[in-house]
Chain A
C-alpha cells in the first residue's frame, strides 16, 4: 500500500517558474506538510468538439526534478482539475490514457447540470468550485448525499480567502451550504496557493473550521484523515480491480485436541462468573458432548 504521511495539501497550482514552485514547496515542508499534490487545470468547456476517441487531456507536467529535490521531505502527487459545463466530458475521460497518469482527478463544474453530474457520475475524486463563480452553484441535499456515498470529497481552498474579501464571502457561503445540506461531511481543506505567502500551517488551517461551519474534529480531519481516505480511494480508482493471492509461509500447524478441551473448560469457568444464562449454555454444551460420545459409541458398535 502506498505510504503517505500527514499533513496533506492537495492543491498547489503548477507554476512554470521553478523558483516560485521551490519556494512554495520549501515553505510547505517548513510548516509540516508531508504529502502534497501539484495541480493542473484543464478547461473542457473551451475545447472544440473533437473526434470521438481522441486524446484531449494533457499529460502531467514533468516534476521529476522537484520530486528528486524534496525526495525524503515531501511526497508529491499530481492532480488535474477538469473544468466542464456538461456531461460530454464523461466519454472523453473514459477513453483518455493521460488521465490515468494523474494521482487525483478533481471536477470543477460550471453549471448546475455539471454539478449534479459531478456528484452522481463523475469518475473522479474531488469536487471543487471556482472562486469566481462558486457562490452561484449550491449543491442540493440529495446530490450531496450521493457524492458522500460514492466517497467523493468536497474541497475548500483557503488562499483565495486570504487575497480577496469577495472570494472570502463566496467561500463562507459555499462552506455554510455544505454545512446545512450535508452537515459538512467529506470536506477537505487545501491551499490553492500561488506563492509561499499564501500557505498556512495545518493547525491554522484546521482552526478555520470555526468560520466554515465545521466541528473541531472535522477541521482536523480535513487536513489529515479525510485526505488519506481520499488518496486511498483515488489509488483504487486508478488501479482498478485487483486480484490478491494469500500465500502461507511455513508449515501449517493444527492445534492439539487435548489443549482444545482444556481451553473450553477454562472458558466455561470464566463464563460461570458472568451474568445469568451461562448455566443454559453449559447445559447445551454438555448435551452436545454426550451426543458426540453416543455417536462414537454407535460407530464402534457398527465397526465391531
Chain B
C-alpha cells in the first residue's frame, strides 16, 4: 500500500487577473518545477489534486511519502506561474487527508 503525504497550499499572485488558475495548469507548474530541480525522477512524481478552489486560491493535493521533501522544496522555489510572480505557501502537511473547506463554502470547490 502506497503511503501518501497531503499538502495544503495557498497560492498568491502579483496579478491574479492575468493568470489562468485551473487544477491542470497548477499540476503542470508543480511537476515542471520538480522536473527542473530533480530531473526525471522528480518529473515522475505522481501528484493527485484532492481539492482545488480558484476563489480561495487554495489547493489540497497528495504525493507519495517518498517524494515529500522534493515536492516541498520544489514548491518553495517556484517563483513564477505563467510568467507572473507568485508565492506558493505550504500551510500544512499531513499523513492523513486534509480539507480546507469551511462550512457553507462547499459550492466554491471542485472535488477531483
- Chain A residues packing against B (C-beta within 8 Å): 31, 158, 161-163, 165, 168, 195-201, 203-205, 207-208, 210-211
**Residues of the A chain whose Cβ atoms lie less than 8 Å from the Cβ of B87:** 196-197, 199-200
A197-B69 CB under 8 A given contacts A162-B79, A163-B79, A205-B76: no
Identity of the chain B residue whose Cβ is nearest the Cβ of A201 in the assembled complex: B89
A203-B90 CB under 8 A given contacts A197-B14, A197-B79: yes
Asked if A197 contacts B12 (CB within 8 A), the reply is: yes
Asked if A210 contacts B79 (CB within 8 A), the reply is: no
Asked if B77 contacts A162 (CB within 8 A), the reply is: yes
A210-B69 CB under 8 A given contacts A197-B79, A200-B76, A203-B90: yes
Asked if B73 contacts A201 (CB within 8 A), the reply is: no
Asked if B86 contacts A210 (CB within 8 A), the reply is: no
Top 4 closest A-B pairs, CB basis?
Answer: A162-B79, A197-B85, A204-B76, A210-B69
Determine how close the nearest CB of chain A comes to the CB of B11; give it in whole angstroms.
12
Q: How many A-B residue pairs have CB under 8 A?
A: 46
Identity of the chain A residue whose Cβ is nearest the Cβ of B87 in the assembled complex: A197
Identity of the chain B residue whose Cβ is nearest the Cβ of A163 in the assembled complex: B79
Asked if B76 contacts A208 (CB within 8 A), the reply is: yes
A-B contact pairs, 24 of them (CB 8 A): A31-B89, A158-B76, A161-B77, A165-B36, A168-B77, A195-B85, A196-B87, A197-B14, A197-B79, A197-B85, A197-B87, A199-B87, A201-B90, A204-B75, A204-B76, A205-B76, A207-B69, A207-B76, A208-B76, A208-B77, A210-B69, A210-B72, A210-B73, A211-B37
Determine how close the nearest CB of chain A comes to the CB of B58; give it in whole angstroms.
15
Interface residues of A, dominant DSSP: helix
- B70 on the interface (CB 8 Å rule)? yes
A18 to B89, CA, bound (A): 25
A199 to B79, CA, bound (A): 10
**Residues of the A chain whose Cβ atoms lie less than 8 Å from the Cβ of B77:** 158, 161-162, 168, 208
Asked if A208 contacts B90 (CB within 8 A), the reply is: no
Interface size class of B (residues with CB under 8 A): 10 to 19
- Chain B residues packing against A (C-beta within 8 Å): 12, 14, 36-37, 69-70, 72-73, 75-79, 85-87, 89-90
**Residues of the B chain whose Cβ atoms lie less than 8 Å from the Cβ of A163:** 79
**Residues of the A chain whose Cβ atoms lie less than 8 Å from the Cβ of B86:** 197
Identity of the chain B residue whose Cβ is nearest the Cβ of A195 in the assembled complex: B85
A105 to B79, CA, bound (A): 29
A208 to B90, CA, bound (A): 13
**Residues of the B chain whose Cβ atoms lie less than 8 Å from the Cβ of A31:** 89
Identity of the chain B residue whose Cβ is nearest the Cβ of A200 in the assembled complex: B76
A115 to B33, CA, bound (A): 34
Asked if B90 contacts A204 (CB within 8 A), the reply is: yes
A205 to B92, CA, bound (A): 14
**Residues of the B chain whose Cβ atoms lie less than 8 Å from the Cβ of A199:** 87
**Residues of the B chain whose Cβ atoms lie less than 8 Å from the Cβ of A197:** 12, 14, 79, 85-87
**Residues of the A chain whose Cβ atoms lie less than 8 Å from the Cβ of B89:** 31, 200-201, 204
Identity of the chain A residue whose Cβ is nearest the Cβ of B75 in the assembled complex: A204
A176 to B49, CA, bound (A): 33
A161 to B79, CA, bound (A): 9
**Residues of the B chain whose Cβ atoms lie less than 8 Å from the Cβ of A196:** 87
**Residues of the A chain whose Cβ atoms lie less than 8 Å from the Cβ of B75:** 204
Identity of the chain B residue whose Cβ is nearest the Cβ of A27 in the assembled complex: B87
**Residues of the A chain whose Cβ atoms lie less than 8 Å from the Cβ of B79:** 162-163, 197-198
**Residues of the B chain whose Cβ atoms lie less than 8 Å from the Cβ of A210:** 69-70, 72-73
> In this complex, which of B75, B77, B78, B90 has the most chain A Cβ atoms within 10 angstroms of its Cβ?
B77
A199 to B76, CA, bound (A): 10
